[in-house]
Structure 1
Amino acid sequence: MATMRDVARLAGVSVSTVSLCLTNSGPVGAETRARVEAAARDLNYHTGPVEHGAKRGRSRLIGILLGDVYNPFFGRMLDRVDAAVSAVDHMLIVSMTGIDKEREIRALDQLRRYRPAGVLMAPLRNNAALQRRLRTLDMPAVLVDQNVDDVRLDYVGSDNTLATRMLTEYLARMGHRRICYLGGRLDLSNSVLRRQGFRDGLAATGVPEAETMEITADYSADQAYAQTMRVMTMTRRPTAILAASNMMAIGALQAINDLGFNCPRDVSLCGVDEVPWGGVIQPRITTVAQPVDELADIAAAWLLERIIGRGGPPRQHIAVPKLILGSSCQPPSS
């Protein structure tokens, strides 16, 4: 494998000149630069990300810390962010925190050892140790999907309250009163907002909360399956289920089918975020979808702006979700 010294020898310059040229960290004449770049090409030499950033104190690595990359929402976001940073010669380091406090802190601490140019995160909201780290973070950062109070960082997310309010009002205006809400864990900011949207929708349509039920299923398909099994075997079972995520909607639909019920004849179902293979699954689930491409593109652009030194106060971008009607909802049967 070629080294910087090999490039210097072939180009007839010093090692320091090669470093200045390939890292753009100092003035180099056009003729000298051309010789160095030609030598690097001939030797198939590329400056590594860490080496490239050594003179600047930062690498061209960008960290992205996500709770669950298996969720199609985060999978799509990861793909878009990777494309955006790769286009400007940066590379992603991906860490899945499992929505766990200790793993979240450990991932951030490990990432910092690589001296990344910046980081994108979807953090827990009540992780005090992480909040302290974020307040004194020594690199640019943008929060995506999950916000944290009092950290003064850029945040990009959707209007989560509006998402579940739209679905709640949609069900209520069909005549549903016994609505079961399957929510996420409340140490995530979007879970709190989505629960509030459900309650706001009930209030706006005059549905008494006492006729409904709220159940936490942790954004898990397995937990949503178990909880749906439980509520659908009650004497007074719900006529509609609102799942606060796509994976919970899939788990709920599986339980409905396994129990021999028909969706939507026996129970209506809707959820937040588009369902993978939604055109194949029957019935097609009615969802409110977040504009994940928009969120990913803005988050990546803002982080890259911070990396090149554009200052200014923290920014927020709140995207508007979109109602996508499927065939999984109908008025409750008599």
Structure 2
Amino acid sequence: MATIKDVARHAQVSTSTVSHVLNKTRFVSPEITARVQQAIDELHYAPSALARSLKSNETRTLGMLVTSSANPFFAEVVQGVEQRCFELGYSLVLCNTRDDKQRLNASMEMLLQKRVDGIILMYTQAHLGAEVFDRYPSVPLVLADWGPMDMEADLIQDCGEQGGRLATEHLIHLGHRDIGCITGPLGKRAADERLAGFRAAMATAGLPIRPEWIVEGDFELAGGSSAMAALLTRPERPTAVFVGNDMMAVGALRALADAGISVPAQMSLVGYDNIELAHYLVPALTSIEQPKAGLGALAVDTLLARIKAPDTPRQVLTLTPELVVRDSSRTPA
């Protein structure tokens, strides 16, 4: 692998001249610049990222802590983060925490050892709180919709209450009056806000909320399946259900199919997140769209702004959810 000394020798200039050409720190004549550039091309020289980072005190590398990049929602956000990093010439180091505090701590230490310029947090173990990050007060952080909300970090959040209201109002406008809800794990902001939106829409429409038709899930496939199976054991069942995320909605569809219940002929479903899979389900899932790629790009832009201006006031940015109507919802029979 060629070094800067090899380039200088090949171009018959000093190493400092090569450095000035690379970094544009001093005027170098066009003739010598061309000679240095030719030597770089012929030797396939690539400047050391480590050396540059030591000199500039930045690595142009960002870290991201996510619960699981295998989850379609998180995966689509990660794609948005990676694409924005690529556009801006940054590298991304992705760490899956898998709801494990030990992995979270180990990942954080690894990112700091790699001297990342900042970190995007998107993980569900909010019960860990901000104390995990209190040991690293100088590291720029951005919360991308998930994480401990009590942190003094920039926050990009989904307006879950508005989304829950949109989903429920859609079912009400279709003519449903007996509406249930499968929530995420209560106590987590996303689950609580979406349930609050469901309650608000029902109250505005003057419709009763039946406690036995509100079942807690876990934002995962199995949780959606078991929650719907539990709902189907009730003496009476709703004609429509708002499900707190698309992963649980997929599980709920499985439970309904196993029970021989047709969607939407016998029960309408609305999910949340509008993951790519929602379009390909049978029936295609009506869902609340979160701009996932936009969330990822905005997280990167917000983090870079924080890195450049660390003393500016904390930002709280809110994304606007939208209803995407597909085949899983219709007027009640």
Q: Shorter-chain TM-score: which interval?
A: 0.7 to 0.9
Structure 2 match to 1:248: 248
Q: Which moved more, 1:182-191 or 1:253-262?
A: 182-191
Cα distance in 1 for partners of 2:328, 2:285 equals: 5
Q: How does 1:317-332 map to 2 (within 5 A)?
A: 317-332=317-332
Q: CA deviation at 1:165?
A: 1.4
CA distance in 2: counterparts of 1:140 and 1:11, whole angstroms: 41
Shift of 1:173: 4.3
Counterparts of 1:158-177 in structure 2, within 5 Å, are 158-177=158-177
Measured on the aligned residues, the alpha-carbon RMSD in Å equals 2.6
Distance 1:35 1:168, change over 3 A: same
**Cα pair distance change 1:144/1:304, threshold 3 Å:** same
TM-score by length of 2: 0.87
> Residue 121 of structure 1: SS of its match in structure 2?
strand
Name 2:71's counterpart in structure 1: 71
Give, in whole Å, the separation in 2 of the partners of 1:135 and 1:149.
17
1:146 aligns with 2:146: yes
Partner secondary structure for residue 30 of structure 1: coil
Where 2:2 maps in the other structure, the secondary structure is: coil
Please give the alpha-carbon distance, in whole angstroms, between the structure 1 residues aligned to 2:258 and 2:278.
19
TM-score normalised by the chain length of structure 1? 0.87
Aligned-pair CA distance for 1:255? 1.5
CA–CA separation in structure 1 for the residues paired with 2:186 and 2:110: 26
Deviations along 1:98-119, one digit per CA (max 9) or x if unpaired, are: 2333323322222111001222
Structure 2 equivalent of residue 223 of structure 1 = 223
Instruction: Tell me, in whole angstroms, the C-alpha distance in 1 between the residues paired with 2:19 and 2:44.
Output: 16
State the number of aligned residues. 330
Which secondary structure does the structure 2 equivalent of 1:29 belong to?
coil
Structure 2 counterpart of 1:57:
57
**Corresponding position of 1:120:** 120
Give the Å deviation of 1:241.
2.0
C-alpha distance in structure 1 between counterparts of 2:273 and 2:126, whole Å:
21
Structure 2: distance between partners of 1:236 and 1:174: 20
| CA 316–240 in structure 1, closer or farther in 2 if over 3 Å, else same | same
Distance 1:14 1:307, change over 3 A: farther
Equivalent residues in 2 for 1:138-287, closer than 5 Å:
138-146=138-146, 148-186=148-186, 188-287=188-287
Deviations 1:71-106 (A, max 9, x none): 333222222222222222211111122233332332
The 10-residue stretch of structure 1 (207-216 or 105-114) with the greater mean CA deviation from structure 2: 207-216
| In structure 2, distance between residues paired with 1:137 and 1:179 | 46
Distance 1:212 1:166, change over 3 A: farther
Question: Does structure 2 retain, via aligned residues, the 8 Å contact 1:49–1:61?
Answer: no
SS of the equivalent of 1:87 reads helix
Name the CA shift for 1:106/1:199 in 2 (closer, same or farther; >3 Å): farther
Gap change, CA 1:137 and 1:208, over 3 Å in 2: same
Kindly state the Cα deviation for residue 184 of structure 1 after the two structures are TM-superposed.
2.0
Contact residue 215 and residue 231 of structure 2 kept, 8 A: no
CA shift for structure 1 position 5: 3.2
The whole-number CA distance in structure 2 between the counterparts of 1:317 and 1:85 is: 20
| SS in structure 2 of the partner of residue 126 of structure 1 | helix
Q: Which residue of 2 aligns with 1:86?
A: 86
Asked if structure 1 preserves the Cα contact closer than 8 Å seen for 2:101 and 2:128, the reply is yes
Matched, 1:100 2:77: no
Q: Could you tell me how far apart the structure 2 residues matched to 1:13 and 1:183 are?
A: 68
- Matching residue's letter, 1:293: A
Per the alignment, do residues 48 and 193 of structure 1 end up closer, same or farther by CA in structure 2, a change over 3 Å counting? farther
8 Å CA contact 2:81, 2:296 repeated in 1: yes
Percent identical residues:
30
Displacement of 1:224: 1.0
**1:242-264: CA deviation from partner (whole Å, max 9, x where unpaired):** 11111111111122112211011
CA distance in 1, matches of 2:34, 2:64: 35
Please give the per-residue CA displacement for 1:214-268, whole angstroms capped at 9, x wherever unaligned: 3232110122112222322433233222111111111111221122110112211
Task: Say if 2:142 and 2:299, in contact at 8 Å, map to a contact too.
Answer: yes
Between 94-103 and 169-178, the greater mean CA deviation after superposition: 169-178
> Which of these residues, 16, 26, 29, is aligned with residue 27 of structure 2?
29
- Answer whether contact 2:73 2:275 (CA < 8 A) is retained: no
Where structure 1 has 5 or more consecutive residues not aligned to the other structure, the ranges are none
3-state SS of the aligned residue for 2:137? coil
Rate the CA distance shift 1:272–1:39 in 2: closer, same or farther, 3 A.
same
Cα distance between partner residues in 2 of 1:16 and 1:192 = 60
Contact (CA 8 Å) 2:20, 2:27: kept in 1 or not? no
Question: Structure 2: which 5+ residue stretches go unaligned?
Answer: none
SS at match of 1:55: helix
Higher mean displacement: 180-189 or 247-256: 180-189
